[in-house]
Structures are given as C-alpha cells and as structure tokens.
Amino acid sequence: MRFDNSNKTPRHHIIIGGGIVGLATALTLRLSGNDVTLLERDAPGHGASLGNAGTFATYAVSPLAKPSLLRQTPYLLSARDSPFHLRWRHLPRLTPWLLRFITEARPARVKHNVEHLTYLMARANDDWQRLLDAADAESLVTRLGCLYTFQTEAAWVQAVHEHDTLAWSGIHYQVLNAKQTADLEPALAGKVKGSIWYPDAGHVADPLILCERLRQTFEALGGTLHASNEVQRLSPQETGVVVNTSTEQKICDHAIITAGIDTPRLANTLGDRMPLEAERGYHLEYPMASPLLQRPCCIAEYGFYMTPMVGRLRVAGTVELSRASDPANPARYRYLERAMDSLFPELGAPSSHWMGCRPSLPDTLPIISSSAHTRRVHYGIGHGHLGLTLAATTGALIEADIHNQAPPWLAALSIDRFR
C-alpha cells in the first residue's frame, strides 16, 4: 500500500469514536500518511453502526423534514401499528429538536437540504471505493440496487410524484409496477402494489464485518487503536489539542469527534452546542441458508428495510424518539414481528433483536466542520439514517477541511448553523 501524502504535511490526528464514521475517517487520514490514533470507549463498530440496514442509500436526497411527512404526523402518532413512536415523557427535552424539524420543512429549507444531500451523495460511491479498495473489502458489497416498495397504490403514486420533483438532483430511479417488482424480487409477488428501484445503490453483507475490515486495515497500515478508552475532555491549545481519557492524556495536532449520539457531552467541554437527538431504530434477524431477497427492500408504509446479509435476513428500521439511554422498547420489536408475520408468515420467529441510536440532527444533514471555537477540533456527526452511506465522504471532507481545501458548499454543514 502506498500512502498518498503528495501535497499535505503529515500530522498527528486523534479520532474519538470508532463507529463507521470514525473508522472511515481514521483510515482516510492514515491513507494520506498521517499519524492517526483512534480512541474508542467500547469496541469499534458496536454502536449504531452495528445494527443498521446495510444500505448504501445514495438515492436518499430527500430530507425527513418535509411537508408530506408533517401531514402524515397525526396518523403516525395515533395509529396502533405505526413505524413512528414518540416517548411523550421526553417531549420537553425533544421540543427544540422538533421545532427546528418543523422549520426545516419549509419549501426553501427543503430545497437547500436536498441540494446539500445531493452534493454528498454525488461522491459517496467514489469515496467508499477508495476505502473498499484499500481494505480489500469490495467482496462485502453487492451492487444490485435497492427497492422502495409500497403496499398501497396511493402511497406509490405519491412517492412517484415526489420523485418527479427531485429529478434535478440527478438520482437514478425507475418506477416499477407490481409485476415488474416481482420480476426483480419474486418473493414480493402479490405483496406490494409497486415500487421505485434505485439501480445505483448497494448493500453490505454485514455492517460489523465492514467495520472490522476497516479497523484491521487501519491497524495494518500503522494506525493506532486504543479500545475501551473513553475520552472525557478536550482542551485546545495554540499548537494542538490535549485529549484526556479515563486513563491517560494525549496531545495531537487535530482532534476529530465522531462519537455518534454521545457527542454533545464532549462538545460541551469545548463550549459547542448542537440539537443532536436519538432516532432509535430496531432490527430483527431471521436465519436462512439461501436468501429470500437479492437486495434491500424497504416496505415504505412499515418504515423498515429487509436486507439480505450473511446467513440471514435483517429487518431494520422504524423511528422512536426517546432518550438514548432508555432500555429498548419491547413494543417496537412486536411491531416489526407483526409486520413480518403478515408479509412472510413462513419465516417464523426471529433469532435476534437489536436497538440502536441514530445520531440525528433536525435538518437531515450531518455536521462536517470544525468546532465553533477552534479549527483544531473537527466534528463528523449527526448522520441520522445515512451514516453508513456517508462515512467515507465524511472522512474525505474532514481531511479536505483541515487542509483548507473543502468545497465551498461544505460551509452549509457547519456547526454554526445551530448557533
């Protein structure tokens, strides 16, 4: 492996948090010849990045905050079988996030957010390719696209209409009727009214194995990992940053915070504020020797994906607004189980259950920027539903920003938008 440090002076960087975003950032910076230390509180890849739906969702340029979602909210909040759940007792704490979410649904903000998601998505596959090549991990990725399917004709027609208005973003999609959908995925015959197919999307055989492959490559290339090492405080100085963990003190040129949902605690030590909340998601897994589906299939009305992974089908999704530290809500597992029973009763009971916290900002855009107070600390956080898809791009953009080579549009992803 040759390092590419052609136009950059190597520096010592500390990455805080070894989820998919931290791992991708650590490997990106190491590939450029930097001295990189990754500090992880637990084990790399075991946070939100462990249990996701595994989809490289490069088509997802439509933000969550938009008028159509606000119109559906009364139904989503009141229906017994809803993919959305709000823990009412946390409403006072969630209110600032929710108010900003509503503000972001104004047409001008939706346009702005689509535009910036489009910038990110346009390069996501290329940024990932560099890391997949370095980690010899291309075999973990299947490129058969992704299907967004609909149980009712009305929902399908509405989605097609929304896609027409997104045509300018350049995402590739095809509208398929029920028969065309079943031609692509025979297991869905008779189960959906239509779908939208995103042929450029891919999926990973197992998100944890991908994290593991990035970690191995990072270490094999001379990167340093300190697991079971929680960072407690950062103190920027003129010439570097002092990073204090539970056991030691380290000094680096730049610190990069990729600590997912736990970021605000560290950000507070720097005086940075952000409206980061947990959109908790759930998954079930059904073991199977041969795959039921070839590609991730989202059942839009149910709010989850069914993704074929090694030796199993993972059913992952739904949104629960709650406190990150609350225990998993058994009712959310039952919701997924009932939905799967109605779709594929032959699958029987799932073999495993999982809940994780998407670190989400109310405008569906991540923060990829330096701290509001120092250029020596950067954030790569708040990827919500898109952390796997955008991890490699986040690492590449942070590196560009450290070297003052970021594209002008990155300014819109700054932490300053929440001041």
Provide the H-helix boundaries in 13-103: 20-31, 67-78, 91-103
Query: In this structure, what is the dihedral angle of CA atoms 324, 328, 329, 332, given to the nearest 10 degrees?
Result: 100
Beta-strand relationship, 249-252 and 141-142: unpaired
CA 275 to chain centroid, in Å, comes to 17
If the CB atoms of residues 41 and 295 are measured against ligand FAD, the closer one turns out to be 41
Binding of residue 266 to ligand FAD (CB under 6 A): yes
In the complex, the smallest distance separating the C-beta of residue 25 from ligand FAD, rounded to whole angstroms, is 9
The span from the CA of 90 to the CA of 312, in Å, is: 35
Smallest gap from residue 390 Cβ to ligand FAD (A): 7
In sequence order, what are the residues at sequence separation of 6 or more whose Cβ sits closer than 8 angstroms to the Cβ of residue 247?
A: 229
Residues 38-77 as x/- pattern, contact with ligand FAD by CB under 6 A: -xxxx---xxxx-xxxxx-x--------------------
Determine contact, residues 28/396, Cβ cutoff 8 Å. yes
Asked if 271 and 372 count as a contact pair (C-beta separation under 8 A), the reply is yes
Pairwise CA distance, residues 62 & 300, whole Å = 14
Is 383 a binder of ligand FAD (CB under 6 A)? yes
Q: Is 322 exposed, middle or buried (0-12, 13-18, 19+ CB in 10 A)?
A: buried
Told to check if 388 binds ligand FAD by CB under 6 A, we report yes
- The one segment of 7-15, 92-100, 368-376, 382-390 that binds ligand FAD by CB under 6 A: 382-390
Bridging pattern class, strands 12-16 and 35-39: parallel
402 scored as a contact of ligand FAD (CB under 6 A): no
Q: Can you tell me which residue has the tokens 């009971």? A: 349
What token pair was written down for 283?
Answer: 């998954």
CB of 355 to ligand FAD, least distance (A): 8
CB 59 to ligand FAD: min, Å: 11
The radius of gyration of the chain from alpha carbons, rounded to an integer in Å, stands at 21
Question: Using the rule CB under 6 A, is 202 a contact of ligand FAD?
Answer: no
Structural contact between residues 243 and 231, judged by C-beta atoms closer than 8 angstroms: yes
Does 145 participate in binding ligand FAD (rule CB under 6 A)?
no
Q: Is residue 358 close enough to count as binding ligand FAD by CB under 6 A?
A: yes
CB of 9 to ligand FAD, least distance (A): 27
Among 12, 15, 19, 406, binds ligand FAD (CB under 6 A): 19
Tell how strand 254-257 and strand 249-252 pair up.
unpaired
* Contact range with ligand FAD by CB under 6 A, out of 72-80, 326-334, 384-392, 400-408: 384-392
Binding of ligand FAD at residue 15 (CB under 6 A)? no
Closest approach of ligand FAD to the CB of residue 152, in Å: 23
CB of 75 to ligand FAD, least distance (A): 22
**Rounded Cα gap, residues 60 and 171, in angstroms:** 9
Residue from 22, 223, 303, 395 touching ligand FAD (CB under 6 A): that is 22
Interface pick for ligand FAD out of 14, 15, 20, 293 (rule CB under 6 A): 20
Judge whether 134 and 1 are in contact, CB under 8 Å.
yes
Residue 21 binding ligand FAD, by CB under 6 A? yes
**How far apart (Å, rounded) are the C-alpha atoms in residues 60 and 53?**
14
Shortest Cβ distance from residue 113 to ligand FAD (Å)? 16
How many positions of this chain bind ligand FAD (CB under 6 A)? 43
The DSSP element (H or E) to which 150 belongs, if any, is strand 146-150
Q: Which is nearer to ligand FAD, 313 or 386 (CB)?
A: 386
Taking the complex as a whole, how short is the minimal distance between the CB of residue 258 and ligand FAD, in angstroms?
5
Do residues 54 and 207 make contact, with C-beta atoms less than 8 angstroms apart? yes
Residue 298 near ligand FAD by CB under 6 A: no
Site for ligand FAD in 26-45 (CB under 6 A): 39-42
Query: What gap in Å lies between CA 354 and CA 5, rounded to an integer?
Result: 41
Q: Which residues bind ligand FAD (CB under 6 A)?
A: 16-22, 39-42, 46-49, 51-55, 57, 230-231, 258-260, 262, 266, 281, 283, 316-317, 356, 358-359, 381, 383-389
